[in-house]
Structure 1
Amino acid sequence: MFFTEHTKIGYILASPKGREILLKHAPELLDSPYIFFIKMKGLSDFVTANQSINRSEDWLRTVMSELSGVEYEIDTNTEILPLSNYESDRIPVGCAEIVAAESVGKWDVFEIELHGPSHGNPFVDVAINSQFSCDGYSVDINGFYDGNGTYKIRFMPEKEGQWSYRTNSNARSLDGIEGQFTCDPANDTNNGPVRVSDTFHFSYSDGTRYIPVGTTCYAWTHQPIELEEQTLATLSNGPFNKLRMCIFPKAYLYNENEPIQYPFAGSLEEGWDYTRFNPIFFQHLDQRITELKKLGIEADLILFHAYDRWGFSEMGKSADDRYLKYVSARLSAFSNVWWSLANEYDIMWSKEEEDWERFASIVTNHDPYNHLISIHNCFNFYDYTKPWVTHCSVQRVDVYRTSENTDEWRKQWGKPVVIDECGYEGNINMGWGNIPGEEMVRRFWEGAIRGGYVGHGETYMHPEDILWWSKGGELHGTSPSRISFLRNVVEQSPNGILNPIVSEWDAPAAGIVDKFYLYYYGFNQPSYREFTTSPGIQYKVDVIDTWNMTIEEQEGTYEGNFRIELPARQYMAIRLKAVALKALSYQTGVQ
C-alpha cells in the first residue's frame, strides 16, 4: 500500500522511510507528549491541528511528494501453531513431574504445576490444557508456559465436591496426566467473581451485594518494590474495592521512568521477541493481583493502551492474539479479575473496530468463568450494546457535564454504568487532572443518585512525579474519606442499590416510590425544601451533609406535604425512609 494524505500518521511513523521523511519536516513529533493522539490523524488533518504552527498546503504537498512511492504493509494475522513433533516418540507419555494441592476452596485458584521440557520455544511450540470434571460437569482449561521448564494450568472451581482432571498436550511428557482434588466451601473472605445483577448493578457470585468504588493507578505494578508496597498499604486503609491498572507499562506525563521488568524477551534497543513472554514480569503481576484479592479489591486489568514508547501498543495481529490468549490462560482463574480491553481504545491508531471485536471474542472464549468485560473510551463511546460487553466503562466526554448523563446512559445501553474516569482530583496543568475534592465528591454523588458508579483518581503534583493516578504511593486529596461516606450511604439503602426515580426538575433523586427517597442538591445551597408525598405514609427524615459527612435525623415523622430546613450549604442531601421500612436491616447484600 502507498501513503496518502489521509493515511494515519501512525502508519507513516511505523515505516522506517516514512518516519525519516516525516520527522525531517516535523521534528517536534519526536518528543511530543501528545504523539499518541497525533498518530490517529492523517497528514491533511495534521496541517490544521495546531494553529500556532503555520503549515501551508505547500508543506503538505512537499511531504506527500517525498512519500510518493513509499510502500507500507498492514500486518496479517499469521498464527504460529504448536509442533506436532516437539518431543521424540522415545519420551514416555505423561512422565512430567506434577505438583498440585489435594484440596482448594470454592472460587480459589487450583494450580497444576508440571515440570517438563524447555527446548525450542515452549511459549509457541507447546500447547497444554486440562479437562476438569465434577458430577457430570466438565470444562476445558488452557495452560501456559511459565519458564524454566515449568508449565501451569490454573482452575477456579465454582462447584464444591470431588474434581478429577486429565491433561492434554502435544508434548508427550505433559500429556495424559491425571489427578483429583476436593473443592471445599469458600472461606469467609471469598465471595466469588463479581457479576451483573438487577440489570444495572453488581453482586458477588454468592449473592452478596458489590458496590464498585473504584480508583485508578495505571502503572503501579511497574514501580520500585517499596513504592508498590506503599500503594498496597494505602489501599488497605482506603474505601476502594476496584483498581484500574495496566498490564503493559505506561509512558506519559509524570510517568517517564522505565519499568522494572518488561512483558517480553528482548529490549527496546534490540527489539522484542513477541513469541517469548517474560515469566518474571507476569509472576510479579500474579502476586499483585493476589494481594489485591486479600484486600477485597477487584483488579480491573487494562489489556491495551496507547501511552507506550516500547511498541506494545503497535504489535502485529498475531502478537496481539497470542498475548490475549496467554493472559487469559494465566489470569482468568483469579476471582477478582475484570477485563478492560483498552483504556481509551479510540486513540490506538493501529486498532480498528474489527480488532476490538476479535479481541473480545478471544478473551471471552478463553475465559471459562465469564469475568466482567468492557472497553474504555477517550472521545467516542464504544457500542456498549454489544453482547460481549457486561458493563459500560465510561470516560467523561464533556469538560463539565459527566455524572449528569448517568441515567440517560442506563436507558441507552441497558447495562451498569461505571464512570471510570470523571476527571481527577489534583492540581496538574491539564483540565482533566485539576478538579477540587468538592467537585470529585459531587460527581460521585450525582452518578450514584442517577443509578451508576463513579471512579476516583488523584493527580496532585509531587517533587518526584509520584502521582497516584499513575504510580500509586500515597493519597493526598480530600475526596477518599467522603467517597467512603457515600459508600456507606449506598450500603444502607434497600438492597444496597440506588435507582433513579422521577423527581423535581432541579434535584436528582433515587429510591423506591412510597418507601425510600434520597435527594441530592449538589452545588446548590437551599435553605429548605418542600415535599409532597402520598398520604397515609409516614417518613423518618435524615439531613445529610455529604462534605462534612454528617447525618442528622430529624425529630418525629413526616407525612403528606412538609418542609425540611437545610443549612444553606452546598453538597446537602435529604433521605426519606418510610416508617414501615425503619425496621429493615439496611446492609450490604441482596435482601
Structure 2
Amino acid sequence: MKSKLTLLSITIFCCQLLTAQIQKWQNPKSYSTVKIEQWQVADLVFKTKKEVKDPFSKNSFAIVTDKKITQKIPMFYNGDKQWVFRYSSAVIGKKTFVIESDIKELNHKKGKILVSKNQKENRHGGVVLNKENPQHLFYQDGSHYFNLAFECDWLFALDYNQKEITKTKHLLSLVEKHKFNQIVMNVYSYDVKWPKDKRLLDYPEHEYGSREDIFPFLGSNSNPDFSALNIDFFNHFDKVISEMHNKEIVSHLMIYVWNKLVNWPDMQSKADNMYYDYVIKRYQAFPNIIWDVSKEALHYERATKDYISERIERTRKLDAFNRLVSVHDYGFCRNHKDEVDFISMQNWQHTLYQNMLKARKDFPNKPIFNIEHGGYEESPYVTFPGAYDNAEACLRRNYMCLFAGGYTTYYWQGTSWNAVIHNPFEQPDNFIKPKFDYFTHMRTLFDTVNFENCEPIEKYNGAGYNLTNKKDGIVLVYAPKENNWVGAAKAVKDNFNYQNATQQWFNTITGEFSKEEKYIIRGVALEFWASRPWKNEADAILIVRNLTPKEK
C-alpha cells in the first residue's frame, strides 16, 4: 500500500465527540465521502511529503460549498508535516470542498462531506443571537441558551502532559451535573500576582500557577521562544475543548489575559499575530466556542482600544463559522457596542441589580452578561475573596443579575484561579465544599418559566425584584430572606386575567417548591401581599402561573 501513495497522503480523522473518541478513515488513493453528524467535529488531516518552512505563516483554506452556503475555512499546522482542515456543520446535506493553499502539495485537493441529522438528545448547536428576541441567547436549533457560566481560568493546566485527562473529565462532570453550561476560561495563564494562601503549601496538587512546562509558544514563560508555537500545548487543549463539547459545555474562551504574569509577545508583532490567528483557526469549528479577546481587556494598560478593535476585526475575518465575540471590559463594550455581539459586564457594586437593569435599558438589542459581579464563594483556600465570599450572598448576586434580565457567572475560589480542586467533594471533611447545588436549583427553576420570555419590569418591584413573562402567563417576585412579604398583584392585574392562576414559592437554597395553590387577590386595595415561607432561612421566589394575557 505504501508504494501506491500519492505525493499527498490523506488521513481523515473524525472526532466522534459523542463518545469523545477519535475514529480514523484512511484512503490514500481517492477521496471517500467523510460522514459526520450535524454539529459533530471532523479533522481531515493532510500530511505533506516535505517539511514546509515557517509553516505558521502559510495560508491554507478549505472552500466548502453546498447548494446555499460557501465557507472559506482556514486550516492549521499541527506539526509533523500535518495540515488540518477542521470542520463541523449546522446544516445537513452533501458538501464539497477544495483546498486553496500557499503550499503546492495541498493546493486544489478536493473532497466530499455528508452531514446527517444530529442524534444526540442534548446537542443544540452553537450559541447565536436572535433578531426577534435580541436580549437573549439561543442555540442554532432555536432553543434558548440559558447562559449560566462557571469560571475556571486554569482548566487548560489540569492533566497537562498526561495521556488521559482524568482530572479534567471529573471536574467537567461536576459542572455538567450541576447544570452549568459554560466555562469562562483562559487559553493560557501563568500565575497570580497577589499573595497566595499558605495552606496551598500543604496541598501542592491543587497549585497550577508558575508551571514552566506549560506554554503556548516554544520555550517557557520565563524564557520564551516566540519563533513558533508549542503544538503539544494545543493538542492537549484540543482534548479539553472536545470533552467540553462532549458534555455540551460552552467554552467562553479568553484569548489573552493581562494580569496573570504571562510573558506575551509585543502587540501586533509577528509572534502576537501568529498566536492569535492560530487560536481562531484551530477552535472555530467547535460549536461550543464563544470568543473573548481578553480578560479585563483595558484594565492593565497592556492593550489599547484600537488594538482590541483590530483583534475583533481579525477574528471576524478568520472565523468562517461566525461564533459570537465579546470583550471582558464593560467600558469597551459600552463604547464599541456595534463591534461586539453581547455586552460583557464586570460590576461589584452593592447596587448590582440597578446597574444590570440600566445596562439592559441602555442596550435594548444586546444580551447582557455579567462575567464578574464580585461574589467569589469561599473555599479551603483564600484565593481571591473579592467583595463577597459568603455562599448565600454570592448566590443572591447571581439572582440579581437574572432578575435584571441578564446572564451571570459563578465563581468558587477553589476552581476559578491558580488553585484548582478538581474533586472538591472527595476532599477531607475540614475542607469547605462548594455550593454547586444552589445553581442546580436555579437552573431547575428557570427551565420551568422560560427565561427567554421574561422581562424585568421595575415598577412592579415593590419589596422584591420582578420578572414578568407576558407570553407564557407567569410572574415571579424575588424576596430576600429578611423580607417579610412581597406582592405580585400589580403585575398580575395590569397584564393578565387571573381566574385560573396558581401560586407557589421556591426556596433558592434547597430548591424546594411549596404546594401550588389557587391565586386569589384579596382586600380592598389592588395589592395582594402574600405571606412568604422560609423567612430568615432562605431567599425565596413567589411564582404566579396559569395567567392569561389580556387582549390588547
TM-score, L = length of structure 2: 0.80
Q: Deviations over 1:224-244 (max 9, x none)?
A: 455434423432432211001
Work out whether residues 441 and 510 of structure 2, in 8 Å CA contact, stay in contact via their aligned partners in 1: no
* Pair 1:290–1:226, CA change in 2 (3 A): closer
Paired residues for 1:133-282 under 5 Å: 133-188=65-120, 189-197=122-130, 198-224=133-159, 225=165, 227-252=167-192, 253=194, 254=196, 256-258=209-211, 260-268=213-221, 270-273=223-226, 275-282=227-234
Q: Deviations over 1:112-134 (max 9, x none)?
A: 21001553534345321111111
Q: Distance in 2 between matches of 1:509 and 1:313?
A: 48
Q: Distance in 2 between matches of 1:474 and 1:445?
A: 26
Q: Distance in 2 between matches of 1:554 and 1:442?
A: 24
Name the larger-Rg structure: 1
Counterpart among 468, 474, 498 of residue 423 in structure 2: 474
Q: Distance in 2 between matches of 1:129 and 1:314?
A: 27
Work out whether residues 385 and 413 of structure 1, in 8 Å CA contact, stay in contact via their aligned partners in 2: no
Q: CA deviation at 1:260?
A: 4.1
Q: Distance in 2 between matches of 1:271 and 1:145?
A: 20
1:456 corresponds in structure 2 to 410
Count how many residue pairs are aligned between Structure 1 and Structure 2.
Answer: 480
1:575 corresponds in structure 2 to 543
Q: Distance in 2 between matches of 1:286 and 1:338?
A: 15
SS of the residue aligned with 1:481? helix
- Corresponding letter in the other structure for 1:190: R
Identity %: 18
Segments of 5+ residues of structure 2 without an aligned counterpart are: 1-5, 13-24, 26-33, 160-164, 197-207, 425-431
Q: Distance in 2 between matches of 1:288 and 1:408?
A: 37
- Corresponding letter in the other structure for 1:412: D
* Pair 1:409–1:126, CA change in 2 (3 A): same
* Pair 1:136–1:395, CA change in 2 (3 A): closer
Segments of 5+ residues of structure 1 without an aligned counterpart are: 1-93, 461-465, 582-591
Q: Distance in 1 between matches of 2:140 and 2:78?
A: 30
- Corresponding letter in the other structure for 1:445: Y
Q: Deviations over 1:275-332 (max 9, x none)?
A: 4111111111111101011111001111111134341264543322222211111100
Q: Deviations over 1:18-54 (max 9, x none)?
A: xxxxxxxxxxxxxxxxxxxxxxxxxxxxxxxxxxxxx
Which shows bigger deviation, 315-324 or 468-477? Answer: 468-477
- Corresponding letter in the other structure for 1:98: I
Q: Distance in 1 between matches of 2:452 and 2:221?
A: 49
Q: CA deviation at 1:146?
A: 0.3
Q: Distance in 2 between matches of 1:359 and 1:125?
A: 17
Work out whether residues 520 and 571 of structure 1, in 8 Å CA contact, stay in contact via their aligned partners in 2: yes
Q: CA deviation at 1:473?
A: 1.2
Q: Distance in 2 between matches of 1:469 and 1:405?
A: 30
- Corresponding letter in the other structure for 1:196: L
Q: Deviations over 1:352-404 (max 9, x none)?
A: 011000000011111111111111138x4533653231112221143x33244
* Pair 1:144–1:484, CA change in 2 (3 A): same
Q: Distance in 1 between matches of 2:407 and 2:232?
A: 35
Give the alignment's Cα RMSD to 1 decimal. Answer: 2.6
- Corresponding letter in the other structure for 2:190: K
SS of the residue aligned with 2:294? strand
Counterpart among 412, 429, 445 of residue 362 in structure 2: 412
* Pair 1:228–1:136, CA change in 2 (3 A): closer
Q: Deviations over 1:227-273 (max 9, x none)?
A: 43442343243221100110022310445330543111123454322
* Pair 1:365–1:439, CA change in 2 (3 A): same
- Corresponding letter in the other structure for 1:512: N
Q: Distance in 2 between matches of 1:530 and 1:108?
A: 45
Q: Distance in 2 between matches of 1:479 and 1:159?
A: 39
- Corresponding letter in the other structure for 2:299: I
Of Structure 1 and Structure 2, the greater helix share is in 1
Q: Distance in 2 between matches of 1:355 and 1:291?
A: 32
TM-score, L = length of structure 1: 0.75
Paired residues for 1:38-187 under 5 Å: 95-100=7-12, 102-117=34-49, 119=51, 121-187=53-119
- Corresponding letter in the other structure for 1:575: I
Work out whether residues 457 and 468 of structure 1, in 8 Å CA contact, stay in contact via their aligned partners in 2: no
Q: Deviations over 1:559-585 (max 9, x none)?
A: 47434212333512211113559xxxx
Paired residues for 1:302-313 under 5 Å: 302-312=254-264
Q: Distance in 1 between matches of 2:167 and 2:102?
A: 42
Q: Distance in 1 between matches of 2:357 and 2:422?
A: 34
Query: Does 2:535 align with 1:564?
Result: no
* Pair 1:551–1:381, CA change in 2 (3 A): farther
